Amino acid sequence: MLQVSGSRFHVEESNLIIDPGTLNIEPFKMKTSTYNPSPIEVDFANALYILQKEIEKHLQDNQIINVESNIKRDNPMVKFSLLDKEGDPHEIVVRIIQIPDKF
């Protein structure tokens, strides 16, 4: 929200760049244009899915018995279903979140 009073202005929760000398308002430009989900979030989720056998090698006394991924949602997620050496099931959910560019 932009409030202008004489030569003073106040901005709240805005994606605007304001030049106080001329009060020219331009939209904020980000280098990454898609975040919901972003291409890198989708690629990262796919990589986790593809590398499940490699990941399993690094889990002490746990076997990955199933992997589910949801890459179409905002913040894609990958859910790993595990079985430990006693036969107890466990689930690990990894949610992938790209932080917006800070340029």
Mean pLDDT to the nearest integer, 41-55: 96
Q: Is the pLDDT of residue 2 over 80?
A: no
Is pLDDT larger for residue 47 or for residue 5?
Answer: 47
pLDDT of residue 102: 79
SS3 category, 28: coil
52 and 92 Cβ atoms separated by less than 8 Å: no
Q: Is the pLDDT of residue 92 over 90?
A: yes
Token readout for 65 is 């018995």
Q: Is the pLDDT of residue 77 over 90?
A: yes
Query: Which residues on neighbouring strands pair with residue 61, listed in sequence order?
Result: none
Mean pLDDT to the nearest integer, 39-67: 96
Quick one: residue 3, left, alpha or beta (phi over 0 = left, psi -120 to 50 = alpha)? beta
Phi/psi for 48 (5° steps) reads -60, -40
pLDDT of residue 19: 53
- Where are the domains positioned within the chain? 1-30, 39-95
